[in-house]
Amino acid sequence: MKIYQGTNIGGYFSQVEKITEDHINNFITEKDIQQIKDWNFNIIRLPVDHIFFTKEDNPTEFREDRLKHLDRVLKWAKEFNITIILDLHKCPGHSFDSSERQFNDIWDSESKNRDNYLKIWDMLSSRYQNYDNIMYEILNEPVAPTNQLWFDLVEETIKSIRKNDKEHYIVVESNLWGDSPNFEMKKFDDEKIFYSFHYYQPLFITHQLAPWTKFYKLKLYQELTDYPGNINVSPEFFEKIEKAEPIYANFFKHGVNRFWDKNALEEMLKPVIEFKNKYNVPMLCGEFGVFIGAEVQTRTNWLNDLISLFKKHDISYTYWTYKNMDFGIIDYTEQYAENPNYSKDERLDCNTLKDLQSGFL
């Protein structure tokens, strides 16, 4: 099985506060795809929110003017021999975002949103069945009440796609945001599946000082944290996190009151590695990264160790993310104009790029 190394292009067709023609035409251009190729990456994960290409009042009425922009990116990628993972980042009836999850009803087999979601994949797989450089990631960071509810939806989605396209790989992420130590997965009866997870362990390192995190907003943990290094919190931390959002506490149960180094990172990969080896299936880490608020050495130490583990265990990866979005390999925002992770002229995080490239050197 081919091993892929690449990056996400977040903030392009997903998680955009206001979608404008200027943003669509200028945030990413063909030169960006060429840059990614010049870095020797061979895959791009392209997150797309359904609202980008659906009518506001009807999620199964599709906007051809917007879909043509997806076609364009696929065309650019093909010119540079890059595979695109078409990632449905948000869909009718599901969001990974804690502020929106109360509206998730996709797990109800009778819900209209579930039907709308399946119709989206019927459309996308029909439209792109003849493109030779695409994979379908059916849902980003599922947050189902039980694993079985997610597995049931996966089975339905596979059937919807395979009616149109029996050749392309389908990417299936594990439940609960794809969190690696909580990885629990079913082996599906389809040989063209990439099994996927996300790696942000421990959040106290990867999301340190990130203002949107619960632990920062609640002032439970606002410390600059070194890696390698110790992470210690009080018992009150868990009490307050579980009270604020019980399911969110899953992110922390493996990560506190211990020393974090490469061995600890590998321990958090154990469920992923065991599944991969048991079934001899391809595995993808669809997202990983360290918030730009971290110190330069912490960011590069963590990334270098994780990439070496991906290389050791033959795990494909797509870094979060290519541009801006608080994690970017490059960043042109004024907010981080003086951030020491970026070179002054190119606004490039040379250390992160070098760490990512080390996976295939």
Query: Which pLDDT score, from 0 to 100, does residue 357 have?
Result: 97
pLDDT digits (tens, 9 = 90+) for 321-355: 999 999 999 999 999 999 999 998 899 999 999 99
Does residue 72 or residue 232 have the better pLDDT? 72
The answer to whether residue 34 scores a pLDDT higher than 80 is: yes
Does residue 42 or residue 360 have the better pLDDT? 42
Helix axis angle, 112-128 to 147-162, nearest 10°: 40
Query: Which pLDDT score, from 0 to 100, does residue 74 have?
Result: 98
Question: Dihedral angle at the C-alpha atoms of 10, 96, 213, 237, nearest 10 degrees?
Answer: -150
**CB-based contact 248:98 (threshold 8 Å):** yes
Question: Residues 287, 295, 338, 346: which is the catalytic one?
Answer: 287
Question: Residues 21, 64, 141, 334: which is the catalytic one?
Answer: 141
- Assigned domain for 311 exists: yes
pLDDT digits (tens, 9 = 90+) for 290-324: 999 999 999 999 999 999 999 999 999 999 999 99
CA distance 233 to 135: 41
Query: Which pLDDT score, from 0 to 100, does residue 86 have?
Result: 98
- Assigned domain for 108 exists: yes
What's the token pair of residue 230? 């110790």
The answer to whether residue 102 scores a pLDDT higher than 80 is: no
Backbone φ and ψ of 61, nearest 5°: -105, 115
Q: Is 181 helix (H, G, I), strand (E, B) or coil?
A: helix
For the question of residue 287 being annotated catalytic, the response is yes
Q: Mean pLDDT of all residues in the chain?
A: 95
What's the token pair of residue 178? 């794809």
- Assigned domain for 248 exists: no
The answer to whether residue 101 scores a pLDDT higher than 90 is: no
- Assigned domain for 307 exists: yes
CA distance 259 to 20: 46
Query: Which pLDDT score, from 0 to 100, does residue 8 have?
Result: 98
Q: How remote is the C-alpha of 177 from its chain's centroid?
A: 9
| Range with lowest mean pLDDT among 61-70, 191-200, 209-218, 260-269 | 209-218
Query: Which pLDDT score, from 0 to 100, does residue 246 have?
Result: 79
Query: Which pLDDT score, from 0 to 100, does residue 250 have?
Result: 77
- Assigned domain for 212 exists: no
Number of domains, the chain: 1
Helix axis angle, 64-79 to 30-38, nearest 10°: 30
Query: Which pLDDT score, from 0 to 100, does residue 249 have?
Result: 80
CATH of the domain at 114: 3.20.20.80
pLDDT digits (tens, 9 = 90+) for 157-192: 999 999 999 999 999 999 999 999 999 999 999 999
- Assigned domain for 246 exists: no
- Assigned domain for 348 exists: yes
pTM (predicted TM-score): 0.97
The residues facing 54 across adjacent strands are 62
The answer to whether residue 82 scores a pLDDT higher than 90 is: yes
pLDDT digits (tens, 9 = 90+) for 133-149: 999 999 999 999 999 99
- Assigned domain for 82 exists: yes
Domain hosting residue 18, numbered range: 5-206+259-360
**CB-based contact 197:179 (threshold 8 Å):** yes
> pLDDT-derived band of residue 119, with 50, 70 and 90 as boundaries?
very high
pLDDT digits (tens, 9 = 90+) for 103-112: 799 999 999 9
